[in-house]
Amino acid sequence: MPHEIKNYVAGRFVASTSRFDDINPVDGSLAGIVHEADKSTVDLAVQAAREALRGPWGSLSAAERGAMLNQIADGIEARFDEFVAAEIADTGKPLAQARTLDIPRGTANFRFFANLVSTSGTECFEMGTPDGSGALNYSVRKPLGVVGVISPWNLPFLLLTWKLAPAMAAGNTIIAKPSEETPATAALLAEVMHEVGIPPGVFNLVNGFGPGSAGEFVTTHPDVDAITFTGESATGSAIMRAAAGNVKALSFELGGKNAAIIFEDANLDQAVDGTVRSVFSNCGQVCLCSERVYVHQRIFDEFVARLKDRAEALRMGWPDDEQTEIGPLVSTAHRDKVLSYYELAREEGATVVTGGGIPEFGDARDQGAWVQPTILTGLEESARCVREEIFGPVCHIAPFTTEEQAVAMANDSAYGLAGAVWTTNLSRAHRVARQIEAGIVWVNTWYLRDLRTPFGGVKLSGIGREGGVHSLNFYSEPTNICIKL
Ligand code: NAD
């Protein structure tokens, strides 16, 4: 019997007559049956969230909420292997990654924000007044209210909890809608919330799609106060329009077309290692992945040859094989999109250095959503494959001659999420890093970040910043109280 994934509303697991399949992209097998939330289920969830905001959750202190978030983290750790298995069944990602990154980071998000909310203060200003007695201004953080959390499929648990934990820490109540491709770890989290006694209505889970389904019902609901969304830029635009009706607060982490710049003075071993990771991690399905690689012309041929060798050596395999380095894409629909870009690249005149197709296994994986790691060269900067986000294990490598040219090429994008700079010249590192139009720039590394730092994108890549106190600020309404002394 396939596993059934229900909605969680007002502290109860709720079935639905409308159901859809949750498919394992490794081999196309059925991972679960998902109950789709209809409009009345979303309405009930919002009503329960509103009541919990006024009632039990709203009356807890920040330290008490923090203690409950730590209990959620304990509950996830107690069922760690189930979370790992569920994430793998939905995404096909390697066991080693789910075990060391996705689930531990998702758990750490609860502990991090539990600690932060218990230790963060607010502002206080003393001011003079004409009568000489003065006044005291201090601010208090109040919850935003009922928050809709809409998350994508690439790092399902990590990205859902990155929003949930600070939103709950700040005292909000939640309507969460995970991606229809990857609902399993969110459903397990609902069970943990239930087990540890999170009051009914604080965390509600509704499953479904975007337009005409749970996603739209949440974003258009007049009693939802804020939407925090991670996903494609085009979906962000649609949500912005939907949320305009009652002027909801919005936090958006959107798409990217990130550049990596490899200068001629880079440590080439480190630059190749780092670029293998930044292009192919999670089968290229990380919003921070590099899809545009700019390499100084003097080292261009050597860099391309070395990246080719490394791409061809990546081991594609079953998730539970400890040797596996790269899994499938999330779905056959997404595979078809990535393959259409491989085809478009050829039409646009690219040289396919390696990859460009589907691997053949001769077993059940041939029914899965696999594509080959792919390296392209020779495209104009105006080519669609250089301008549009592909979100697969693919990059285009182009040469440059001067630092100014490299910066200009990196910034010539509608997106601005992340950048990577590889150089051993300290002055150049500082000079170039601050010129890159992106929310985060790495120098001689990639995907390394302190959770207290601001995270987000510019241009089409998002609105607002998450991380540390930046998250608490978004999920709170600061209110100034001015007292005449
Ligand atoms: P997506 O936009 O297709 O879907 C994301 C979520 O939005 C899903 O839960 C989906 O059901 C929902 N949705 C879709 N249409 C909707 C609508 N009209 N109204 C309400 N909800 C709707 O994104 P995806 O394909 O799941 O994820 C991949 C994208 O996410 C890539 O563009 C990637 O760059 C981006 N991403 C960004 C970050 C970041 O931090 N900036 C992180 C991860 C992924």
Pairing relationship of beta strands 476-484 and 135-143 according to DSSP bridges:
antiparallel
Query: Could you give the C-alpha distances from 212 to 146, 231, 281, 410, in angstroms and in order?
Result: 21, 17, 33, 38
Our mutation pick for probing the ligand 1 site, out of 149, 230, 440, counting the most ligand atoms within 8 A of Cβ, is 230
The answer to the question of residue 455 being in a domain is no
Pair 263, 249 in one domain: no
- The CATH code of the domain that includes 431 is 3.40.309.10
The answer to the question of residue 465 being in a domain is yes
Pair 312, 224 in one domain: no
Separation of 250 CA from ligand 1 center, angstroms?
14
Residue 200, phi then psi, degrees to nearest 5: -55, 140
The answer to the question of residue 371 being in a domain is yes
Pair 341, 466 in one domain: no
Pair 240, 280 in one domain: no
| Predicted pLDDT of residue 1 | 62
| Predicted pLDDT of residue 78 | 98
Closest CA to 266 of 428, 409, 447, 406: 428
The answer to the question of residue 434 being in a domain is yes
| Predicted pLDDT of residue 3 | 87
Closest CA to 441 of 456, 462, 424: 456
Q: Is 380 a catalytic residue?
A: no
Contact, 442 vs 416, CB < 8 A?
Answer: no
Pair 402, 323 in one domain: yes
The answer to the question of residue 456 being in a domain is no
Pair 420, 478 in one domain: no
- The CATH code of the domain that includes 235 is 3.40.605.10
Task: Report whether residue 328 contacts ligand 1, using a CB cutoff of 6 Å.
Answer: no
The answer to the question of residue 419 being in a domain is yes
Pair 113, 181 in one domain: yes
Task: Report whether residue 285 contacts ligand 1, using a CB cutoff of 6 Å.
Answer: no
Rounded distance between C-alpha atoms, residue 65 and residue 116, angstroms: 11
Which residue has the CA at smallest separation from atom 34 of ligand 1? 255
Pair 248, 262 in one domain: no
Pair 217, 276 in one domain: no
Domain count within the chain: 2
Pair 288, 214 in one domain: no
Pair 243, 351 in one domain: no
**Cross-strand pairs, 253:** 230, 462
Our mutation pick for probing the ligand 1 site, out of 235, 286, 388, counting the most ligand atoms within 8 A of Cβ, is 235
Rounded distance between C-alpha atoms, residue 279 and residue 394, angstroms: 6
Q: Is 253 a catalytic residue?
A: yes
Residues of the chain with pLDDT under 70: 1-2
**Region of residue 391 (phi > 0: left; psi between -120 and 50: alpha; otherwise: beta):** left
Rounded distance between C-alpha atoms, residue 109 and residue 164, angstroms: 9
The answer to the question of residue 156 being in a domain is yes
171: containing domain = 3-254+461-484
Pair 221, 298 in one domain: no
pTM of the model: 0.97
The answer to the question of residue 7 being in a domain is yes
Ligand 1 atom having least distance to the Cα of 177? 9
Ligand 1 atom having least distance to the Cα of 334? 25
